[in-house]
Amino acid sequence: HCNANMWYDERISKRERTINPRFSLCCGGSKVELPLLQNPPKYLYQLLYDHDTSDSKNYQQNIRTYNMMFAFTSTGIKFDKSINHSRGPPTIKIQGQPCHRIGSMLPMPGKEPKFAQLYIFDTENEVQNRINAISSPHNQIQGHIVSQLSEMLDEYNVHAKTFRMARDRLQDGQVDNIKLKLIANREKDGRTYNVPTVPEVAALIVGDFGAYSKRDIIIETLHGQLQRIHELHSSYLALQYPLLFPYGEDGYRPDILHSSALDGKKRKRNHLTMREWFSYRLQCRSNESKTFLNSRRLFQQFVVEGYIMVESERLSYIKNNLKKLRVDKFCSLQQSLDDGSTKGLNKGKRVILPSTFVGSPRYMDQLYFDGMTICSHVGFPNLFITLTCNPNWPEIHRLLNSLNLKAIDRPDIISRVFKLKYEQMLMDLTKNQMLGKVIAYMYTIEFKKRGLPHVHLLLFLHPDNKYPSSDEIDQIISAEIPSQQDDPELHSLVKKPYGSWPMWNFKPWISMHERRQVQSFLSQNVPAAYYFRC
């Protein structure tokens, strides 16, 4: 339906082997229909795909810095920079709720211009001002790349044109106080088809405003306060990621309708959710631009912030629909319990997360009680199995090598391939009974510090298929390096480097001296059971 590239095992009905599979990960089975992204402007295309040039290498290594230079808004979230001091792949970790803020068009007296102000204030020295505005060391930033990116955005980006228009009005000298209104919604039917234009996204007005939407952004000429941009504003992402949205394309809006909503049938929900919007945008299509997917660390930041936006939307729904979720009964019970000890402290409104919200206390308690009930019914688990994602899997290499990308550049592909591998392993263990008849299982999926997912799986075997003696256990478990003569394939797999870290790096805090000792020990082809933390 949407031309997204999917693996066959990602189909909806996995029990059926069909030549016409249906998928829901991309477009929800044709429910989601969004305008395709255009190819980036010529200069940005060269920076993304001409991998042999020095400008392209410099841009790809510092892509997040270049994006921050041209961002119209500041991020109110905190990036954890303490996790990238090791030899592992670069990781992006965000703390707090996503929050984008924008200030006035001109900086306050004595203050340096930042973000959107750089499009208006002192544009004759704009390149140097942008380089000086970033707080991190900028000795790797190339001035001619900044200059050409600025010219590109002036020509193609609708938001850059808007702020340049405000600059021209202020430089005329006829007015000294204007206001810029960034409009939240444009289409009445909830659908957008073309790249937006300046009159559709902004209005430049001298004097007072009339009626406007509560989500519209009103930017004054000079004031010292920052205003927050709502996550549901159509330009929320385009203002923060101008190098991912070079034309200023629309982001998510709550009034986008499903494509099936026009047939007149009554449905429980006809509008697009934020998760569906991101799921559609993160797919690879042959007829759509791949600016997102080839932006490396900037793409990682976009994905992480997108997940937090989805979670924030879910929290907001729970907060605004407490009556529908019937949480008031739980609140009255808790209030009667707390009366006498919390008198005078009943300020605000308590929000109780339901057990369906992933990660909430009630969700974790429910999983714990379910696990304990299984143990009390069938006994202790018999096998503890761990599967860790390998970035050298041929499916990952086959897809990313043609794009000149590494596994760390596409965390979405890592997660999807890992899920398919795990589901196949689970089928071999449960349905195909590779290690015996399984009567119950439970698992949890985590992400290691190197950014790779891994699963912890507990298997409860049938009493006739358990392994009571050590001799039977040795038939399925081996804790020593395979022999190079007897099993050369397994030996090469164990000795092969594991992504950017070797397989024998069991402790992330191991010193270089200890690392050499471990490598020397493992190269002697002797049992190393006490070095493996199974």
**Given a cut of 80, is residue 519 above it in pLDDT?**
no
Q: b/e per residue, 362-397, with b = 16+ CB within 10 A?
A: eeeeeeeeeeeebeeeeeebbbebebebbbeeeebe
With a pLDDT cut of 70, the percent of the chain lying above it is 80
CA angle 40, 43, 47 (to 5 degrees): 90
Q: Is the dihedral of CA 14, 17, 22, 23 positive or negative?
A: positive
Average pLDDT over residues 456-464: 93
Given this model, what pLDDT does residue 190 score?
45
Residues 67 and 203 in one domain: yes
Band of residue 276 on the pLDDT scale cut at 50, 70, 90: very high
- 152 versus 168: the higher-pLDDT residue is 152
**Given a cut of 70, is residue 487 above it in pLDDT?**
yes
Least trusted range by pLDDT, from 200-214, 342-356, 499-513: 499-513
Give me the number of domains the chain comprises: 2
**Strand 383-388 vs strand 453-461: parallel, antiparallel, or unpaired?**
antiparallel
Backbone angles phi, psi at 181, to 5 degrees: -110, 115
Distance from the Cα of residue 448 to its chain's centroid = 16
Domain boundary among 205, 224, 253: 253
Residues 236 and 367 in one domain: no
Residue 277 belongs to a domain: no
Residue 384 belongs to a domain: yes
Give the tokens for residue 11.
Answer: 């189909």
Residue 271 belongs to a domain: no
Highest mean pLDDT among 73-82, 349-358, 359-368 belongs to 359-368
Contacts of residues 128-137 at CB distance under 8 Å and 24 or more positions apart, as own/partner, are: 130/69, 130/70, 131/69, 133/69, 134/65, 134/68, 134/69, 136/65
**Domain region containing 446:** 361-525
Given this model, what pLDDT does residue 187 score?
56
Band of residue 85 on the pLDDT scale cut at 50, 70, 90: confident
pLDDT in tens, 214-238: 667 778 787 778 888 888 888 899 9
Residues 377 and 497 in one domain: yes
528, 481 in Cβ contact below 8 A? yes
- 73 versus 499: the higher-pLDDT residue is 73
**Given a cut of 90, is residue 55 above it in pLDDT?**
yes
Contacts of 335 (CB under 8 A, 6+ apart): 346
CA angle 478, 481, 485 (to 5 degrees): 110
Residues 371 and 248 in one domain: no
Residue 202 belongs to a domain: yes
Residue 287 belongs to a domain: no
Given this model, what pLDDT does residue 316 score?
86
Residue 319 belongs to a domain: no
Residue 89 belongs to a domain: yes
Residues 39 and 155 in one domain: yes
Count of beta carbons in the 10 Å neighbourhood of residue 463:
10
Residues 226 and 371 in one domain: no
Band of residue 415 on the pLDDT scale cut at 50, 70, 90: very high
Residue 100 belongs to a domain: yes
Domain boundary among 205, 227, 253: 253
DSSP 139-160: TT--HHHHHHHHHHHHHH-HHH
Domain boundary among 253, 269, 301: 253
